[in-house]
Amino acid sequence: MTDMLFSSARLRMSRAQQKAVLSWARDLGATVPSYDHLRKCQRQLLRRLGEPTKRHVSIGGNIWYLNDIGLSVAKVGP
C-alpha cells in the first residue's frame, strides 16, 4: 500500500515528503518499511516485472499512460 501511495500519478510526493509520511506512520505505531527498504523493493519489482506503464499519444497530441496489469500478473505466475 505504501508503494501505491508513493507511486500515484495523481499525488506526486517528494523524497522528503515520503520520508516524513513514513516517519509519521511509524510514530503512530504502524509497521512500515524504511524509505531505503521501500526503494530497494521497488527496484526488485521493476527488474522482475518490468515497467507496466506505457505512454500513449493521441492524434491530437494528448498524452496518457496505461498500466498493463495483466502482463505483470502473468509474469509472476504460480
Question: CA-to-CA distance for 77 and 5, rounded, in angstroms?
Answer: 25
* Strand spans (E) along the chain: 53-57, 63-67
- pLDDT, one tens digit per residue, over 32-46 is 889 999 899 888 888
19 near 57, Cβ under 8 Å?
no
Q: What are the sequence ranges of the domains in the chain?
A: 2-76
Question: CA-to-CA distance for 27 and 22, rounded, in angstroms?
Answer: 9
Prediction pTM value? 0.58
- pLDDT, one tens digit per residue, over 8-59 is 777 888 999 999 999 999 999 999 889 999 899 888 888 887 777 788 999 9
